[in-house]
Amino acid sequence: MQERKSPTCDVVVLLSGTGSNLQALIDSARTDDSPVRIAAVISNRADAYGLQRAQDAGIATRFLDHKAFEGREAFDHALIELIDTFAPKLVVLAGFMRILSADFVRHYQGRLLNIHPSLLPKYKGLHTHQRALEAGDTEHGCSVHFVTEELDGGPLVVQAVIPVELHDSPQSLAQRVHVQEHQIYPLAVRWFAEGRLTLGDQGALLDGQLLAASGHLIRT
């Protein structure tokens, strides 16, 4: 492996499913000048295909079954202990289908990122593509944000905006949004790894400047 020019930022990725965003992060981290190193991938589902993606890339994997714990707090405490064995500078949620406890979020304050398939603050939660279509929206997209105790409510980092087309279905819209997710998530992670992205008292900062409430907008 080539020696990296920039200090390495170790990242732990949490997921529950197929790991398509993980794959985008893996591909981005493989570039010679990337300061990102994915130290581990952890899933609460043993059958998550994202674990296979990680193994194929030579990344450490761990499985922690939430059903083996009595309650969210107990699971999250064990998850914190597991994550911290890898001493990451950043924790990335990539389709991790768990609502995180306040203690977990506070433990990783300012170094916990999530991606959500809507233009937040619109459509927090599930079924975002269907809800955008039912509302008659002309634009849709995805958002990367810092995680806070408010579900899908943390300061926005970057959003990708796509037009809603006349004959879009939830499935076609989801496919086009996924393409944008795979662009903006590696971008945000790299900003953090380079020391350009931080969380301040007033919100997300890029190069020391407070980002707008909508984050950095990218239109396609």
Binding residues: 19-21, 72, 97-100, 114
3-class state of residue 144 by DSSP: strand
137's tokens? 């929206």
Catalytic residue among 107, 116, 140, 182: 116
Backbone angles phi and psi of 131, in degrees to 5: -65, -35
Known binding-site residue numbers for (6R)-10-formyltetrahydrofolate: 72, 97-100, 114
Q: Compute the distance between CA of residue 51 and CA of residue 139 in angstroms, rounded to an integer.
A: 33
Q: Compute the distance between CA of residue 144 and CA of residue 140 in angstroms, rounded to an integer.
A: 14
> Residue 116 catalytic?
yes
Residue 4's alpha-carbon distances to 8, 29, 59, 79, 196, in angstroms, are 7, 11, 18, 30, 18
Q: Which residues contact 111 (CB under 8 A, 6 or more apart)?
A: 88, 89, 90, 91, 192
CB 97 within 8 A of CB 17: yes
Q: Compute the distance between CA of residue 196 and CA of residue 21 in angstroms, rounded to an integer.
A: 21
For 8-133, strand residue ranges (E) read 9-15, 36-43, 60-63, 90-93, 112-116
64's tokens? 């922690």
Report, as residue numbers or ranges, the catalytic residues.
116
